[in-house]
Amino acid sequence: GENVEQHPSTLSVQEGDSAVIKCTYSDSASNYFPWYKQELGKGPQLIIDIRSNVGEKKDQRIAVTLNKTAKHFSLHITETQPEDSAVYFCAAINFNKFYFGSGTKLNVKP
């Protein structure tokens, strides 16, 4: 089966700095990679996703990159704000099965 590894487990940045979270996957059949943000007391919410036929996708301050050859994908948040503080999860999906990373707790210090 698929194995998704996520790093780092915690990340602390100063407001305005950039944050990068990285994930690797093992199964080349995985073809869809969503990212979720989970705030305290809430369920994970989809923030951006990328399919295997695309190398990069941007949505305002967040972007995701995918390297299919190396089997890794990354979340980039620019100009971080205190409201970006949350736990972020990556996932890899193939054949309708979802495999999640273990999460990154991002703390943005004002």
Partner 1 sequence: ETGVTQTPRHLVMGMTNKKSLKCEQHLGHNAMYWYKQSAKKPLELMFVYSLEERVENNSVPSRFSPECPNSSHLFLHLHTLQPEDSALYLCASSQEGPGPYSSYNSPLHFGNGTRLTVT
**Site residues for partner 1 per CB under 8 A:** 31-32, 34, 36, 41-46, 49, 89, 91, 93-96, 98, 100-103
In terms of CB distance, is 36 or 73 closer to partner 1? 36
- The least distance separating partner 1 from the CB of residue 20, rounded to whole angstroms, comes to 20
In terms of CB distance, is 43 or 110 closer to partner 1? 43
| Pairing of β 62-67 and β 72-77 | antiparallel
- The least distance separating partner 1 from the CB of residue 8, rounded to whole angstroms, comes to 14
- The least distance separating partner 1 from the CB of residue 63, rounded to whole angstroms, comes to 17
In terms of CB distance, is 5 or 17 closer to partner 1? 5
